[in-house]
Chain A
Amino acid sequence: MCVYSRFARVASRAALLGALVPWAVPVGALDLLDGDLQVHGFVSLGLVNTTDNNFFGQSDDRVSKDFSEIGINGSWRVTPDVQLSAELLSRTAGGTDDGSARLDYGLVDWTVSSSEEGRGGLRLGRVKTAYGLYNKTRDMPFTRPSIVLPQSIYFDRTRNLTVSADGAEIYLERYGEAGTLSASLALGQPQTNTEAATVALVGLNPPGHLDSKLAPDFQAIYEGAGGKYRLAFTALHLDLRYRPGYGDRLGSGRFKLTPLIFSAQYNAENWSLTSEYASRRTSVKDFGRFFYNGDATGESYYLQGTYRLAPKWEALLRYDVYYADRGDRDGEDFSAATRLPGFTRFAKDWTFGVRFDVTPQFMLRAEVHRVNGSGFLAVQDNPNARDLRQYWDNFMLLGSFRF
């Protein structure tokens, strides 16, 4: 079983890379059918080294190479009103993602009505989840401000639950002199069928699995002065049920998560300032006495500045804060109840990063994180909570190619 899945994983990655090579050779976009059919993709490899704790693989006093992203997508504009698009993604991220290829999105986008002032339409299929400013393209390194997104809001640990959903999304856009207003409402089945999604919520080696109700997702974005300022609001509601497996210590528990995100960004010619604030209401019940049941409201925010030093160089400074429970910010109550360290319930991350665009297709990045707390770390990479350290540094390097 294990050997087979490993073989399947390697084979699927090789197939994906093989599919990339012919496109990548004549560097640049590939347009067929007069540009109506486009193929694009990216390959990204990262190195991670931490002073303590593990992030994206065994990185504690070692160098982890378990962070890579390979994607290839195609889009076909069938008529001006209808576009078909799909992307295959292989992602490795330590113990949380094993690199097997999967459908990242696959959808038909139908513009139902369109005029000079705006348009409205429908997306059907596997649709990327609108969640803050960065989620829809979170795995495409060139669209991220840093090697890893601010973990307080864009958890890589629980990403599968919010990355895309199978269902429908309606959207509306208005183009006015005062700015562009867009809104979308989606209803879809989140991806709960991966082990990573289950582990993130119930812990290692779960015998059972998660089911999800259809999740509603709303987002409104206002862009003023041609995108110089962007303001967004996102509301998502997840309702998950745990189906215990054979001999399970856990009961058929229920998770309800309701993140609300407020986003603001200002873009000048050579610098940008971005801030997002998230409040996450969580309700956990019916798991039984071997689990930390209860209601809590998590809280996260970050403030991030990027500065273009030269046409090919960009620097980033960010302060990112995460609290699992704003009624217990230092985790003392949690620690008293579970005898686990309180610092597993928060994380405060100072990040400094540099980006160098060698060519428009090839980018190099370096990043340093000074972190107080282990709140966003994945249990797969850190199976024993007693081995965790409160203060740790994280150094990352990334090379990314696109076409």
Chain B
Amino acid sequence: MIEKLIAIKFVTSLSRSLLGGALASVLLVGNAHSQTVESAMVAIAHPATAEEAIPRASLRAIFGMLLQKWPADTPVKVFVLRDDAPEHATFSKSILQVFPHQLRMAWDRQVFSGQGQYPEQVNSTQEMLSRVASTPGAIGYARASEVDKNVRVLKIR
């Protein structure tokens, strides 16, 4: 029992000290980036979506393919670009605050245990905009500068 506690203590203190260092460096790097990046990428949704703003944690759960419905009970349909698309990396890191490879791992874990499905992958920002505009319940992302009036920009609250 004591050994178990020591082992746990060791692991937590180790992860805590590593965490501290890593968090500090992430914050430093993140801050320098976030201004340009955060204004560059936005979450977009089908124009008939009831929500104007959404908590970051819920947005994460939606792109993590956990949350399947909008609060108004309509089904969510998630669109993403390829894992190695710069927009995907930027959106994941600055808006969802998740690394793209972790998002992929979370999808894999669900698909290969029968608990969830993959989001639909589109090939370009143009396709993203047109699919989100034409699919009820759709959610995706795009550069703020490329967003047109056929989709709604979702704010983070």
Contacts and interface: CB of A to CB of B under 8 A. Distances in A.
Contacts, number: 140
Contacts of A301: 7
B106 interface: yes
B18 A119 contact: no
B76 A80 contact: yes
Contacts of A262: 8, 11
Contacts of A204: none
Contacts of B60: 175, 180, 226
Interface string A283-324: 000000000000000010101000000010000000000000
A116 interface: yes
Interface in A250-275: 262, 264, 266-269, 273, 275
A114 B18 contact: no
A73 B97 CA distance: 30
Contacts of A136: 109, 112-113, 115
Interface in B80-134: 83-84, 96-99, 102, 105-106, 108-109, 111-118, 120-121
3 tightest CB-CB pairs across the interface, nearest first?
Answer: A85-B114, A226-B98, A80-B75
B56 interface: yes
- Give chain A's interface residue range (CB within 8 Å of chain B): 35 or more
B54 interface: yes
A81 B111 contact: no
A266 B112 contact: no
B66 A173 contact: yes
Contact of B71 (A115, A143, A176, A267): A115
A86 B111 CA distance: 10
Contacts of A85: 114-115
A175 B57 contact: yes
A83 B121 CA distance: 20
Interface of A: 29, 31, 35, 38, 40, 71, 73, 75, 77, 79-81, 83, 85-87, 105-107, 109, 111, 114-117, 119, 123, 127-128, 136-137, 140, 142-143, 173, 175-177, 180, 225-227, 229, 262, 264, 266-269, 273, 275, 277, 279, 299, 301, 303, 311, 326, 360
24 contacts: A35-B120, A73-B112, A80-B68, A80-B69, A85-B115, A105-B113, A107-B114, A136-B109, A136-B115, A137-B113, A177-B57, A180-B57, A226-B60, A226-B98, A227-B98, A227-B102, A262-B11, A264-B15, A266-B15, A266-B18, A273-B18, A277-B4, A277-B7, A299-B3
Contacts of B99: 226-227, 267, 269
A105 B18 CA distance: 37
A360 B108 CA distance: 12
B57 A119 contact: no
Contacts of A299: 3
A173 B115 CA distance: 13
A177 B112 contact: no
- Main secondary structure, interface of A, reads strand
Given A175-B61, A279-B4, 19 more contacts: A31-B120, A38-B111, A40-B118, A73-B111, A79-B75, A80-B68, A86-B114, A111-B69, A117-B57, A128-B113, A140-B112, A143-B108, A175-B58, A177-B57, A226-B60, A268-B26, A273-B15, A273-B18, A277-B7
Contacts of A275: 11, 15
A175 B56 CA distance: 9
Contacts of B19: 229, 266
Contacts of A73: 111-112, 114
A78 B11 CA distance: 43
A266 B96 CA distance: 18
B58 A116 contact: yes
B144 interface: no
A123 B55 contact: no
Given A87-B114, A273-B15, A225 B67 contact: no
B13 to A, nearest CB: 11
A132 B20 CA distance: 25
B134 to A, nearest CB: 12
